Amino acid sequence: MSEASQHFDVAVVGGGPAGLAAAMAVADTGACVALIAPRPGVDDWRTTALLGGSVAFLERHGVWADLEGIAAPLRNMRLVDASSRLFRAPDVTFEAREIGRELFGYNVANGPLVAALSDAVAARADRIVRFEALFQTLDQRGDVALLGLSSGETVAASLVIAADGRNSGVRKAAGIDVKSWSYPQEALVLALSHSEPHRDTSVEFHTEAGPFTLVPHGRGRSSLVWMDRPEVIARANGLDDAALALEIERRSGSALGVMTVDSPRQRWPISGFQARRLASGRVVLVGEAAHGFPPIGAQGFNLTLRDVERVEDIVRSAMHLSGSKRLDGEKAARDYDKARRFDVSGRVAGVDLLNRSLLSDVLPMQIARATGLMLARDLGPVRRLLMRVGLAGR
Q: Which residues bind ligand FAD (CB under 6 A)?
A: 13-19, 36-38, 40, 46, 48-49, 134-135, 163-165, 169, 187, 189, 225, 268, 287-288, 295, 298-302, 304
CB of 165 vs ligand FAD, minimal distance in Å: 3
CB of 95 vs ligand FAD, minimal distance in Å: 19
Choose between 263 and 299: whose C-beta lies nearer to ligand FAD. 299
CB of 251 vs ligand FAD, minimal distance in Å: 17
Number of Cβ within 10 Å of residue 359's Cβ equals: 17
CB of 391 vs ligand FAD, minimal distance in Å: 12
Choose between 358 and 370: whose C-beta lies nearer to ligand FAD. 358
Choose between 83 and 268: whose C-beta lies nearer to ligand FAD. 268
Report the chain's C-alpha Rg in angstroms: 22
Choose between 252 and 302: whose C-beta lies nearer to ligand FAD. 302
CB of 367 vs ligand FAD, minimal distance in Å: 29
Candidates 297, 97, 73; CA nearest to 198 is: 73
Choose between 99 and 133: whose C-beta lies nearer to ligand FAD. 133
Residue closest to ligand FAD, measured at CB: 16
Beta pairing class for 283-285 and 154-162: parallel
> What distance in Å separates the CA atoms of residue 261 and residue 125, rounded to the nearest whole number?
40
CB of 254 vs ligand FAD, minimal distance in Å: 24
The answer to whether 124 and 61 are in contact (CB under 8 A) is no
Candidates 152, 66, 76, 146; CA nearest to 109 is: 66
Choose between 28 and 186: whose C-beta lies nearer to ligand FAD. 186
In three-state secondary structure terms, 44 is coil
CB of 52 vs ligand FAD, minimal distance in Å: 10
DSSP state of 263: S
Choose between 78 and 326: whose C-beta lies nearer to ligand FAD. 78
The beta strand positions in the chain, using DSSP E, are 6-13, 33-36, 47-51, 72-74, 76-81, 92-95, 105-109, 128-131, 135-139, 145-149, 154-162, 178-194, 201-207, 210-216, 221-228, 259-261, 266-275, 279-280, 283-285, 291-292
Residues 260, 50, 108: CA angle, nearest 5 degrees: 35
